[in-house]
């Protein structure tokens, strides 16, 4: 098979992957979790196939699609209360993003946050805490200490600290959350 034919086939496969992801998100939005899972799994299978193809496996876009497919399935499993499966998908996605971008890249922060949130859902607050701290540090470096992009991480981290009965630390985060929310109200 010549190079042009391979590229054409890959372009068709890319469109199929995107269509599967879009269909999965649309089904998820309508709470059709069985259909969403089916679509997300098909997209993951396709991305994993690319990841095993010698000519494609080292491409950054292919590895990014694999990480996104893992994350999508993890989010679905978390919404379904399948925390063990969600944790597995999030761990694989995090590893892939760290390999792609490095430990402290802005693309790694959401993966850390997602894994930490599912760990909290499983009552593994101590395991989640360093992930929240690292995600927060990355976001602070990227957006500043009082940007609205930090809110979800701060809120989830605060909840974890409260569960660990570290109320003073949680209160400091809550004050920061209020300040950020106040700044965003003033900006409107």
- pLDDT grade for 55, boundaries at 50, 70 and 90: confident
Cα separation, 47 vs 26, in Å, equals 19
Predicted local confidence at residue 8, as pLDDT: 64
SS3 state at 131: helix
Is residue 133 within 8 A of residue 157, CB to CB? The reply is yes
Query: Residue ranges of the alpha helices (H) in 102-150?
Result: 108-121, 125-143
Cα separation, 11 vs 36, in Å, equals 23
Predicted local confidence at residue 137, as pLDDT: 97
- pLDDT grade for 41, boundaries at 50, 70 and 90: very high
Is residue 43 within 8 A of residue 21, CB to CB? The reply is yes
Average the pLDDT over 96-120 and give the result.
95
Between CA 101 and CA 95, with CA 13 as vertex, the angle to 5 degrees is 25
- pLDDT grade for 79, boundaries at 50, 70 and 90: very high
Average the pLDDT over 31-46 and give the result.
96
Strands (E), the chain: none
Mean pLDDT over the full length of the chain: 92
pLDDT of 5 higher than 90: no
Where b means 16+ CB within 10 Å and e means fewer, 9-42 reads ebeebeeebeebbebbbebbeeeebeebbebbbb
pLDDT of 80 higher than 70: yes
> pLDDT per residue over 133-153, tens digit each?
999 999 999 999 999 999 999
Cα separation, 180 vs 184, in Å, equals 6
pLDDT of 32 higher than 90: yes
Predicted local confidence at residue 57, as pLDDT: 84
């Amino acid at each position: 098979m010549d190079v042009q034919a391979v590229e054409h086939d890959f372009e068709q496969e890319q469109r199929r992957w995107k269509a599967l992801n879009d269909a999965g998100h649309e089904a998820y939005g309508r709470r059709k979790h069985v259909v969403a899972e089916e679509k997300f799994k098909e997209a993951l299978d396709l991305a994993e196939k690319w990841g095993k193809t010698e000519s494609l496996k080292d491409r950054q876009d292919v590895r990014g699609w694999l990480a996104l497919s893992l994350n999508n399935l993890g989010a679905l499993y978390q919404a379904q209360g399948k925390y063990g499966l969600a944790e597995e998908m999030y761990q694989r996605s995090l590893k892939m993003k760290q390999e792609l971008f490095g430990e402290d890249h802005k693309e790694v922060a959401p993966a850390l946050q997602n894994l930490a949130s599912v760990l909290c859902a499983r009552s593994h607050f101590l395991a989640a805490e360093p992930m929240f701290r690292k995600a927060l540090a990355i976001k602070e470096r990227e957006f500043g200490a009082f940007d609205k992009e930090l809110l979800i991480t701060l809120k989830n981290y605060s909840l974890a600290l409260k569960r660990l009965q570290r109320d003073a630390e949680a209160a400091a985060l809550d004050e920061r959350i209020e300040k950020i929310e106040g700044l965003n109200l003033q900006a409107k």
